Amino acid sequence: MFALLLCEAFLLTPIFLFGSTGETLTEKSGHLNLGTPGTICVGGAGGMIGVAVYDSICGGFANSNPFLTFMFVLFFALLFGALSGLLFSFFTVSLRCNQNVMGLAYTTFGIGFYGLIATLVNRPDGFLNQYCGTISRLFMTRSEAPNGFCEIFLSHGLLFYLSFVIAIVVAVVLKRTRVGLFVRTVGENAGSADAAGIDVSKYRYITTIIGCSISALAGLYYFVEINNGLVEFKNIDAYGWLAVALVIFTLWKTDLGILGAILFAFLFKLPEIYGLPSASLNILFQYLPYFVTVVILVIISMVNKKAVQAPANLGIPYFREER
């Protein structure tokens, strides 16, 4: 039972992890991107388009190559994510629009875009499902013994491992490198960063584009690994808001984000697997992550220590002549 829970929770983890890693990177540069749920949806839509484009190129499922499919899908998800980031930073950096409004509008857009692309791309023969099946089996090491070590840790697709690698890489880059220091400076005090000769706009553009590309992979993962190519989605935007919550929960650290993502996935799956005594308690349990995030938010504001706070310039557009 517990092994099954672990397995299911691990399967869900990368959604939160991709989403929160991308969002953390963006927030570290001073951008509160509330468009993350939208970006995740757009990433999923990118995955669908990738499958459809590859299908039309290779001419049917029979001639397809799983590896090439994967590359196409990955490319389109990253492309759409990067375009989301470009749009977001164009609005908030170049046009200096309000980030919250931009983010909410983009989330609305993304959810709509996913739904529209889903109806346009989908065909009754279920080709999306076939392709996604081959992708998720591509790098999988199937274990012989059920519920064993292999089942839990080694039976996932490449995207699963990629999420952990990206989270660690982002954490190291932010903490240990010169570029990471610059990014953090831009997020903490854009004025000082500018005075020190750091190009604030450039850093914000690049981090947002990379961050959104990472977030978009969450949508791709959802589409390929969890939905297995079915276009119906129930709560992809709820996952997105949980990813935003996770950023706060992990105090803007992506290496902690790995543990946080596993915990959130655990809480999400716990009632489903074990089955609490009543259906209403099940529901309450699923909303626990939001509540925990609120508690964390209150605690970090009470502690009032700089190390655990949000970046000081979070949500403030930078205009040099405004000082």
Partner 1 sequence: MSEIKVEEKQVNTEHHENKKPREKLFHITKRLDVSLKYKIILRVVSILVALVVCAIVLFIFKPGKFGAFFKESFNSLFGSTNKFFNILYEFAFLLGIAIAILPCFKMKFWNLGGEGQVLMGCLGAALVSKYVGPHVPNFICIILMIICAMIAGGLWAFIPAFFKARFDTNETLFTLMMNYIAMGIVEFTVQLVDPTHGSFAGLTSGVYHTSTNISILISFIVVSVLTVFMYVYLNYTKHGYELSVVGETRNTAKYIGINVKTVIIRTAIICGCLAGIMGYLVVAKQTSINKDIIGGKGFTSVMIAWLGHMNVIEIVIMAFLVAFISRGSNQVSTKLGLSGSFVQISIAVFLLTILAFEFFLNYEVHFNKQLFSKKKKLEEVKE
Out of 244, 261, 263, 270, the residue judged to bind partner 1 by CB under 8 A: 244
Q: Quick one: 135 or 190, whose CB is closer to partner 1?
A: 190
| Least distance (Å) between residue 171 CB and partner 1 | 21
With contacts defined by CB under 8 A, name the span among 64-72, 198-206, 244-252, 262-270 that binds partner 1.
244-252
Is 179 an interacting residue with respect to partner 1 (CB under 8 A)? no
What gap in Å lies between CA 114 and CA 42, rounded to an integer? 6
| Least distance (Å) between residue 319 CB and partner 1 | 7
- What counts of helices (H) and strands (E) characterise the chain? 14, 0
Is 271 an interacting residue with respect to partner 1 (CB under 8 A)? no
Site for partner 1 in 109-128 (CB under 8 A): 109, 111-116, 118-120
Out of 125, 144, 232, 322, the residue judged to bind partner 1 by CB under 8 A: 322
What gap in Å lies between CA 323 and CA 195, rounded to an integer? 12
Out of 79, 82, 100, 255, the residue judged to bind partner 1 by CB under 8 A: 100
Is 315 an interacting residue with respect to partner 1 (CB under 8 A)? yes
Is 140 an interacting residue with respect to partner 1 (CB under 8 A)? no
On the 0-12 / 13-18 / 19+ scale of CB atoms within 10 A, 31 is: buried
Out of 5, 71, 86, 108, the residue judged to bind partner 1 by CB under 8 A: 108
Is 280 an interacting residue with respect to partner 1 (CB under 8 A)? yes
Out of 58, 82, 83, 104, the residue judged to bind partner 1 by CB under 8 A: 104
- Locate 130 and state its tokens: 């076939």
Instruction: Give the HSE-up count for residue 291: Cα atoms under 13 Å, Cβ half-sphere.
Output: 8
Is 95 an interacting residue with respect to partner 1 (CB under 8 A)? yes
Is 286 an interacting residue with respect to partner 1 (CB under 8 A)? yes
Is 68 an interacting residue with respect to partner 1 (CB under 8 A)? no
Question: Position of tokens 């997020």?
Answer: 187
Question: What x-and-dash track marks residues 22-61 binding partner 1 by CB under 8 A?
Answer: ----------x-x---------------------------
What gap in Å lies between CA 262 and CA 268, rounded to an integer? 10
Strands (E), 25-90: none
The answer to whether 143 touches 155, Cβ cutoff 8 Å, is yes
The conformation of residue 40, written as its DSSP 8-state character, comes to H
Burial call 91-118: b when 16+ CB within 10 Å, e when fewer:
bbbeeeeebeebbeebbebbbebbeebb
With contacts defined by CB under 8 A, name the span among 65-73, 165-173, 198-206, 236-244 that binds partner 1.
236-244
Question: Position of tokens 């290779």?
Answer: 58
What gap in Å lies between CA 223 and CA 45, rounded to an integer? 8
Q: Nearest-CA neighbor of 35 among 219, 241, 218, 222?
A: 241
Out of 6, 243, 246, 310, the residue judged to bind partner 1 by CB under 8 A: 310
| Least distance (Å) between residue 302 CB and partner 1 | 5
What gap in Å lies between CA 109 and CA 100, rounded to an integer? 14
Can you give the binding site for partner 1, defined by CB under 8 A? Answer: 32, 34, 91, 95-98, 100-102, 104-109, 111-116, 118-120, 238, 241, 244-245, 248, 278-280, 283-284, 286-287, 290-291, 293-294, 297-298, 301-302, 304, 310, 315, 319, 321-322
